[in-house]
Amino acid sequence: MPQWGMAVDLDRCTGCGGCVVACHAENNISTVGDEQAAVGRAKHWLRIERYWEGDFPDVRLKFRPVMCQQCDNAPCEPVCPTYASHHTDDGLNAQVYNRCIGTRYCANACPYNARFFDFFNPSWDKPLQLQLNPDVSLREVGVMEKCTFCVQRIRAAGTQAKAEERDVADGEIQPACVQSCGARALVFGDLENPSSEVSRLSRSPRGSKLLEDTGAQPSVTYLSRLTQV
């Protein structure tokens, strides 16, 4: 059974935001508009965080793309009273929208602020609904949603590989963010396969996990940005 994970090379990431919009396009994430965004209801399964250091003129800025870290020991899972938030065999923190009753306990428990609550039914001004991806279900009011590692792509590739009686090849699955990244800062794959690129990168001495001391055991490894003086 593969264990899906991601490596994010911060030395390659330029903060361009291509992944952010790719995620919206792939996953039918509805835009909420200015008024709702102003009260913190915008949904970005993937965001670029920024860290300013120092003062002018000795100032630095670092970017970090943050999405659901698909933790092995996920704080969001045990708090869910309906098992909407649960762990799959292949290492994903799945969210079953039909089970979710909107307690939002999971969002409170998540150390990464990676979960977003649907305060409304989604709507699209016609004919923008034509952009919707039929492989991804729409989330109705009152449920929690988050990054799935583009599970629809994972399942499609798995089905295809099974039909062809083979294993999924390394690099065959690309979540939308990974696919859009020009600088190749994001790499997705099977952490169980020691020769996969994501495994190789995850073993890098530059690697670390985000907020590791919470004990959540994330599946996303960040490779630090180097400095050269």
Partner 1 sequence: MDRRSFIKLTAVTGTGAALASCGNPENDFIRFIPDEMIVPGVAVWKPGVCSLCPAGCGLTVRVMDADADVVRDGQAGIVRIAAAKKLEGAPDHPVNHGGLCARGQAAIQVTYHPDRITQPLRRTGERGDGLYEAVSWDDALAEIVSRLDALEGAGNQGSLTYLTRVGRSHRAALVRDFLVRFGAPPPVAFEIFGDDVLRRANALSFGREQLPTFDLANAMYVLSFGADFLGTWNSPVAQNVAYGRMRQGRRGVRGAFAQVESRMSQTGASADEWVPVRPGTDGVLALGIAHLLMSTGAYPSDAAGRAGALIEGWAAGLPGYAPEDVERMTGLEAARVEGLARQFSDARPAVAIVGGAPLAHSNGLFTALAVNALNALVGAPGRDGGIFFTPQLDVAAAVQSGSPAQPAVALESLVTEGLAGGASPEVVFVDGANPVFTAPPAWRVREWLEQVPYIVSFGHFLDETSILADLILPDHSSLESWAEALPESGAVMAVASIAPPVMRPLHQTRATPDVLLEVGRMLGTPLALPWETFDELLGASLAGLPSASGSGALADARQAGVWSGELPAGLAVADSADTSPASVPVAFTAPEFDGDADEYPFHFLPYSSNAFLDGSLAHLPWLQEMPDPLTSAMWSSWVEINPVTAERLGISAGDVVEVTSAHGTVRTRVVVSPGIAPDLVAMPAGQGHRTFTRYASGRGENPVELLAPMTDAATGALAWAATRVRVTRVGPPDGRLILFAGSLREHGEEHR
Interface of this chain with partner 1, residues 175 to 214, rule: CB under 8 A: 176, 179-185, 208, 210-211
Contacts of 166 (CB under 8 A, 6+ apart): none
For 25, other C-beta atoms within 10 Å of its C-beta total 13
Q: How far is the CB of 157 from partner 1 (least distance, A)?
A: 13
What is the rounded CA–CA span in Å between residue 128 and residue 99?
28
* 169 sits near partner 1 (criterion: CB under 8 A): no
Question: Residue 66 CB, nearest distance to partner 1 (Å)?
Answer: 9
Whole-number Å distance between alpha carbons of 145 and 85: 10
> Hey, what amino acid is at 203?
R
CB of 177 to partner 1, least distance (A): 10
- H helices of 29-143, in order, are 34-38, 105-109
Residue 36 phi, psi dihedral angles, 5° rounding: -75, -35
- 104-143 footprint of partner 1 as x/- string (CB under 8 A): ---------x-----------xxxxxxxxxx---------
> Nearer to partner 1 by C-beta: 126 or 166?
126
Size of the site for partner 1 (CB under 8 A): 71
Of residues 16 and 138, the one with the C-beta less far from partner 1: 16
- Residue nearer to partner 1 on the CB measure, 20 or 100: 20
Tell me which of 117, 149, 188, 222 binds partner 1, using CB under 8 A.
Answer: 222
Closer to partner 1 by CB, 107 or 143: give it: 107
The structure tokens listed for 229 are: 């003086």
What single letter denotes the amino acid at residue 210? L
| Look-up of token digits 């292949």 | 90
CB of 136 to partner 1, least distance (A): 11
Q: Name the residue nearer to partner 1 (CB basis): 1 or 226.
A: 226
Angle at 11 between CA 94 and CA 151, to 5 degrees: 15
Footprint (CB under 8 A) of partner 1, residues 46-85? 47-57, 59-64
Q: What are phi and psi of 65, to 5 degrees?
A: -70, 130
| Distance of closest approach, residue 171 Cβ to partner 1, in angstroms | 11
